[in-house]
Amino acid sequence: MRILVTCMVLVLLSANVRSQPEAVSERYRKFINQHINADMSINKCDKEINKLKITKTGSNECKETNTFILATTNLVKSVCKDAGEPYNNLMKSTKPFSIIVCKLKGGQRRPHCQYRGQSRTRRIAIACEDGFPVHFDRDIVHFEN
């Protein structure tokens, strides 16, 4: 009986270890899909958010704000390592990024969401897991001295 319990615990632990990288990569893929688009413009908010089916988490309601980072995945990923610095429980980019902020101006449910886009240059604050960005938290105004 003791051997059976030990074997079951080992199987569960190994399954958990295997699923953790998959969970991170799934969250990373969602982050890329939702926040990285080097070709984004202020006039594409409605089209891109509808195409990508971006909504409030777990619903069909329009998301209030979505930010697109105009960069490559590798540049954004580097914020989790050498191009970022700790910022509360997040990482803040050491250099500013060009971003498009899409703010809801009308509509309640997908696909009727309407957005107004704004172009900004800001540092970004993201959550990282195992060296991968998994959540966009905010953009940060940065003034050079």
Active site residues: 35, 135
Q: Strand pairing of 114-129 and 65-69? A: unpaired
Q: Provide the CB-side half-sphere exposure for 2 (13 A, CA).
A: 0
Are the beta carbons of 100 and 122 closer than 8 angstroms? no
Backbone angles phi, psi at 78, to 5 degrees: -65, -20
- Partner residues linked to 67 by β-bridges: 101
CA distance 130 to 137: 17
Residue 86: cis peptide before it, omega within 30 degrees of 0: no
Tell me the C-alpha distance between 66 and 46, whole Å: 11
